[in-house]
C-alpha cells in the first residue's frame, strides 16, 4: 500500500469519526438550549406570575348590566369600581375620582376578550367574559387618564377608549 493510499484511508476514517462526534455535540447543544428555553418560559410564567391573576369566580356576563358602572366607596379614600367591557366601549366612562384615592377595579367583559389598560399607570388586566379580574391602583396626581383596550376585539377596537378624571381635591 502506498503512503498516499494509507494517508487517504486514515483521513477518510478520521473525518467520518469527527463528523459523528460533531453531530453528537450539535445534537447535545440544541437539546440543552431547547430545555433551557422551555425551563425559562415555565419559570417566567409560573414563578414570576406573568399570568393574569383573577379573583377566580365566574359570573354570567348577561347578568352584568345591573351592577356595572358602580363606583362604591369602601373606605375613607378607597373605592371599588366595576368596569365592564362591551363592543366597543368601557362602562362606566368617564369616572371621577379624587386625588389620592385607592381604586380597586373589578374588570370583566360582556362579549369578547378585551385588554383593560390605563395609560400612564401600571394597570393592565385582561377582561375575560365570565371572569372578573381585579387590580388596585392609587391615583396620586390629578389629571385625565385614558382607558384603552390593548387586545384586538374587532373592527372598532381602536376607538374603544374610556376616561378617568382625577380631581385635584382629595376626598
**Where are any strands of DSSP class E within 65-123?**
71-75, 78-86, 89-91, 95-98, 102-109, 114-118
Q: Tell me the per-residue pLDDT of 10-65, one tens digit each, with 9 for 90 and over.
A: 777 777 878 888 888 889 999 999 999 888 887 777 666 555 444 444 554 544 54
* Gap between the Cα atoms of 160 and 73, Å rounded: 26
Q: For position 63, what pLDDT does the model report? A: 44
Cis status of the peptide bond prior to 88, with omega within 30 of 0:
yes
Residue with cell 391573576: 53
C-alpha cell at 102: 385607592
- pTM, full prediction: 0.61
Amino acid at each position: 500500500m502506498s503512503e498516499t493510499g494509507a494517508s487517504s484511508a486514515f483521513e477518510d476514517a478520521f473525518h467520518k469519526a469527527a463528523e459523528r462526534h460533531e453531530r453528537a455535540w450539535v445534537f447535545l447543544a440544541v437539546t440543552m438550549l431547547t430545555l433551557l428555553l422551555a425551563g425559562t418560559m415555565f419559570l417566567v410564567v409560573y414563578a414570576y406570575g406573568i399570568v393574569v391573576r383573577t379573583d377566580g369566580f365566574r359570573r354570567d356576563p348577561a347578568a352584568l348590566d345591573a351592577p356595572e358602572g358602580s363606583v362604591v366607596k369602601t373606605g375613607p379614600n378607597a373605592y371599588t369600581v366595576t368596569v365592564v367591557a362591551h363592543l366597543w366601549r368601557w362602562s362606566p366612562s368617564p369616572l371621577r375620582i379624587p386625588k389620592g384615592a385607592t381604586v380597586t377595579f373589578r374588570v370583566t367583559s360582556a362579549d369578547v376578550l378585551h385588554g383593560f389598560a390605563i395609560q400612564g399607570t401600571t394597570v393592565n388586566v385582561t377582561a375575560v367574559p365570565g371572569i372578573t379580574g381585579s387590580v388596585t391602583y392609587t391615583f396620586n396626581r390629578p389629571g385625565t387618564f385614558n382607558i384603552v383596550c390593548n387586545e384586538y376585539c374587532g373592527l372598532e377596537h381602536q376607538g374603544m377608549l374610556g376616561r378617568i378624571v382625577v380631581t385635584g381635591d382629595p376626598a
